[in-house]
Homo-oligomer: A and B are copies of this chain.
Amino acid sequence: MAKARIHITLKQGVLDPQGKAVRHALDSLGFQGVEQVRMGKLVEIDLADGPRGEQEAQVRDMCERLLANTVIEEYTFEIA
């Protein structure tokens, strides 16, 4: 079995109110030196065994068609 780990993050320049809220919460808790917080999604998918190249193409397709909103988000993934 292979495990795909996908990181989905907002593109640079896209406002991230959730990240801003977390940053303020960290400030209120007294954490210093926090310059920016960006929130993203992590998707872990267990895939049936198969050729690595096909798995990569499949995961890319999943990101494009369902997991990421490519207008405002970008994704990276690794398969292990």
Mark A residues whose CB is within 8 Å of B: 1, 7-9, 22, 25-26, 29, 31-48, 50, 58, 61-62, 65-67
Contact = CB atoms under 8 A, between A and B. Distances in A.
Contacts of A38: 43-44
23 contacts: A7-B42, A8-B42, A22-B67, A26-B62, A29-B65, A29-B66, A33-B50, A34-B45, A34-B46, A35-B46, A35-B47, A35-B48, A36-B46, A37-B44, A37-B45, A37-B46, A39-B41, A39-B42, A39-B44, A40-B43, A40-B44, A41-B42, A42-B42
Contacts of A7: 42
A7 to B, nearest CB: 6
